[in-house]
């Protein structure tokens, strides 16, 4: 089987996997009709029924978030819009809606960006799916092996041999790069450490209500879980402030 045939089969398999992530149903059509007619309460009921069946999609999370926002349930609106952002991390419309929902909820925690190289590395890792990074790893590894074969066993003259070596180094570098970005993508996709606070409360200095209250927290606040002791979790806020909250108060994204 040729290299290009292997690559072609992998691309076809990837396309089939994407199309099977969400299958439109009569219930989804019904929910969207209710959503468009601004019958948000009934739209939420149908959307939640679809979620209970195990289906997910960007549009489902986005419409559910907007519906909750329309009836003043800002914590749930933020939760589902964060889930929509998980599906499409670099979507500008989602970011705008999240800012809008946080303002409506009265959340005044200002985000402090990560160190610039880390920030852009994370953005790049989420430009495509984990499977796409795996596909790129396979492609670049095959190209590296192929060019190395020609370098070792091909009947090449000096200039052509140097070109093949250069391509081998390039493909090896791209393989390592795609592997590293793929691991970062996997971490963000499968390591569920991000969540939304679903009830108002306080950020505590320790894993106990008798600890000092660091600051009040509104429902809808975004947190990253860092540690866990009994029924308490240590979290980091968007402004990099850290403290403890009860685990039951958080819904993971």
Q: For 51-82, write each residue's pLDDT tens digit.
A: 998 888 999 999 999 999 999 999 999 999 99
Within 10 A of 195 (CB to CB), how many other CB atoms are there?
Answer: 22
pTM: 0.75
The DSSP line for 84-101 is HHHHSTT-HHHHHHHHHH
Q: For 74-130, write each residue's pLDDT tens digit.
A: 999 999 999 999 888 889 999 999 999 999 999 999 888 777 888 889 889 988 888
Q: For 127-147, write each residue's pLDDT tens digit.
A: 888 888 999 999 999 999 999
Query: Beta strands 194-197 and 232-236: pairing type?
Result: unpaired
């Amino acid at each position: 089987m040729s290299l290009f045939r292997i690559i072609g089969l992998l691309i076809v398999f990837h396309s089939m996997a994407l199309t099977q992530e969400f299958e439109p149903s009569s219930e989804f059509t019904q929910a969207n009709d209710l959503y468009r007619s601004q019958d948000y309460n009934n739209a939420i009921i149908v959307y939640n029924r679809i979620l209970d069946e195990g289906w997910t999609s960007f549009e489902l999370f986005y419409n559910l978030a907007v519906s909750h926002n329309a009836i003043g349930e800002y914590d749930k609106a933020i939760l589902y819009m964060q889930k929509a952002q998980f599906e499409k991390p670099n979507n500008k419309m989602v970011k705008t809606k999240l800012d809008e929902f946080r303002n409506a909820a009265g959340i005044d925690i200002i985000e402090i960006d990560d160190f610039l190289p880390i920030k852009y590395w994370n953005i790049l890792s989420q430009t495509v799916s984990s499977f796409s990074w795996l596909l790129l790893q396979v492609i670049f590894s095959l190209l590296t092996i192929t060019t190395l074969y020609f370098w070792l066993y091909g009947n090449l003259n000096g200039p052509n041999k140097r070109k093949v070596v250069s391509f081998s180094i390039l493909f090896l570098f791209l393989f390592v790069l795609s592997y590293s970005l793929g691991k970062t993508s996997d971490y963000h996709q499968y390591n569920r450490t991000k969540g939304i606070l679903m009830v108002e409360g306080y950020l505590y200095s320790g894993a106990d209500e008798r600890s000092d209250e660091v600051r009040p927290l509104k429902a809808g606040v975004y947190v990253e879980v860092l540690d866990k002791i009994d029924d308490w979790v240590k979290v980091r806020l968007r402004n990099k402030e850290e403290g403890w909250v009860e685990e039951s108060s958080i819904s993971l994204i």
